[in-house]
Amino acid sequence: GDSVTQMEGPVTLSEEAFLTINCTYTATGYPSLFWYVQYPGEGLQLPLKATKADDKGSNKGFEATYRKETTSFHLEKGSVQVSDSAVYFCALSDVGAGNMLTFGGGTRLMVKP
Amino acid sequence: GAVVSQHPSRVICKSGTSVKIECRSLDFQATTMFWYRQFPKQSLMLMATSNEGSKATYEQGVEKDKFLINHASLTLSTLTVTSAHPEDSSFYICSARRGQGESPLHFGNGTRLTVT
């Protein structure tokens, strides 16, 4: 079945540091890939998506590129802020699985001033 | 603004009682809504798919008699945790898809359930 693996946290960075959160996947079909963010006390928000190979999703300085050859969708940001502290979930949606979302385990990011 | 409203955001109940959680799509009709559960420090796990006008589809291992789902209208799905126990304490999140196919999912803000 489909699965998503992302790096375990917590990831602790200083403000303005470069961020990478790794995400790899396995899927039976050709999935769409997503990064969701969960701020403390809030629901999930969708910052990024990519629907085909080499697509780059971007939002508020975050970027992720759909790499089919390495089955990866790593999340990056050039300069993190304290307000970026949250839990980040990588997910895929596979047509073969009825477009249901399969989530990774989540990575907690803590940014210190 | 929010397009999916989930209520209540927090609830504390005694063991043996039942709790109902509502999920509403605010400005669109959702024939399908999804219910997830998040254990501490773990990922979201899909519990069931709620289909308007028909029975919900439960994931393997989810007790359908314990987690009752009703999707009575195109804008409302409810999850009732019956005879709650402390191990049911968790964070429950609903989501709804606006449109079909690859339309994005919109999530509610979740409900923190604590069973004492």
Tens of pLDDT along B20-33?
999 999 988 888 88
The DSSP code for A23 is E
Whether residues B101 and A99 touch (CB distance < 8 A) is answered with yes
- Comparing alpha-carbon positions, the chain B residue that sits nearest to A40 is B109
Residues A83, B63: Cα–Cα separation, whole Å: 39
Residue of B30, B17, B24, B28 whose CA lies nearest to B85? B17
Give me A14's structure tokens. 């200083």
- Residues 6 or more apart from B105 whose CB is under 8 A from it? A46, A101, B34, B95, B96, B97
Q: Which residues of chain A have pLDDT under 70?
A: 41-43, 95-100
A–B: how many Cβ contacts below 8 A?
40
pLDDT of residue A94: 74
Give the mutation candidate from B4, B31, B43, B107 for the A interface (greatest A CB count, under 10 A): B43
Whether residues B34 and A100 touch (CB distance < 8 A) is answered with yes
Tokens 């970027």 identify what position?
A63
Q: How many CB atoms lie within 10 A of CB B96?
A: 26
